[in-house]
Each structure stands twice: as structure tokens, then as C-alpha cells.
Amino acid sequence: MERLIEGYRQFRKTGWPRERALYEELANGQSPEYLIISCCDSRADPALIFNARPGELFVLRNVANIVPPFEQGNGYHGTSSAIAFAVLQLKVRSVVVMGHATCGGIAAALDRKVAAQTPFLSEWISLLEPAVARCAHEDGDRHTATEREGVRLSLERLMSFPFIAERVQKGLLKLEGARFGIANGQLEWLDKESGEFRRVE
């Protein structure tokens, strides 16, 4: 806990004074342009990766950056409610689904024994089954291929949300995919024409 308190003290000493005017402005409301859907992995922080200032990114993090299919009715739709809030209330202009290398959620989807002792995890990562199936005959690195396919799957599911499909068709919203390399710091961006991930230079 002391590490967190000391980090806050450093923020108040350097970060807060530097961004004080911006924080005062943001106290009146936020208007981020981007919704970033990323994994909750501690090594892949979107704000750090995109060098973002406060208020620039609306960040939704969950295990393996999964977007569930659009559903209505009773239940706890945490991920879907955050997506709806970002698109309908904040009116973000872009949604970026960002996966990352060595993702533990992907590892659990590939080997279901990994999730066996963790409550809630097995059902959550079952949402990745279509991505796992698409990579079943991958000759190379199946883990990496599934990380990329998981991003593609989440982008497909975003289009199952009627309010997203409508905005995309009207040119009011863009959907993008990315993958971050933990060891090399390299970002890959999904090329919409080819469907392949390309390194950002």
C-alpha cells in the first residue's frame, strides 16, 4: 500500500501541477474521442502506450479485451454498458480493440485447465471459442494467432450492437484493431483492407 501512497505523493508533486488546468477543465465533464477496449493485464496500459493525457481516452479493460455479443434483458452487462455509455453518452468517434502479446486470457482459452480454479473465468473466456476454432489449424504460433483473432472477433461483435452499426454506416464512428508486443514495445494495427496486422513504424 505504501507504494501506492508514495506514487500519489509524486503525482501531486509533479503530475498534478503540470496538468492542473486540464483537470480543472475536466471537472466540468469529459469528452474523449476514443474508446479503448483492452485487456486488464498490468503490462499493457493504453494510457502509457498511446502517451495519452487525462481525458483523452475512455478505457474499458477486461480479461482478454473481449466484446460479448449484443444482448438485451436481465443480467450484469458491465462491458456492454461501458460501450453503450462511451458511444451514446460521450459520443466517442473511434473504438479501438487492443490485444497484447502473452495474454493470459488467451492462454486460458487455448488450455481450459488454466481457468479451472478461477471463479467466473471459464465462462468469460468461452466467448473466445470462435477465435480459438478459427486458429485450430494454425501452423505457426497459435497463441499469437489467437490473440489477433480475438481482436477481430471483438470487432465483429461490436457491429452486432445496433447503435454502433448505425453510427459506423453513417460515418460517425470508426472501429479499429491493434495488438501490443510486451517484450518489444511494438504496436500492430489491423489493416482493414487486407485483414492483417501491420507494424506501426
Distances from the Cα of 28 to the Cα of 4, 24, 55, angstroms: 27, 7, 11
Three-class DSSP category at 38: strand
Mean pLDDT (the chain, rounded): 96
CATH hierarchy code of domain 31-199: 3.40.1050.10
Residue 140 above 90 pLDDT?
Answer: no
| Domain extents in the chain | 1-29, 31-199
pLDDT tier, 16 (very low <50, low <70, confident <90, very high otherwise): very high
What pLDDT digit, counting tens, does each position of 66-121 carry? 999 999 888 899 999 999 999 999 999 999 999 999 999 999 999 989 888 899 99
- In this structure, the dihedral spanned by the alpha carbons of residues 90, 125, 162 and 149, taken in order and rounded to 10 degrees, is 100
pLDDT of residue 159: 98
pLDDT of residue 132: 97
Residue 27 above 90 pLDDT?
Answer: yes
pLDDT of residue 115: 86
pLDDT of residue 80: 97
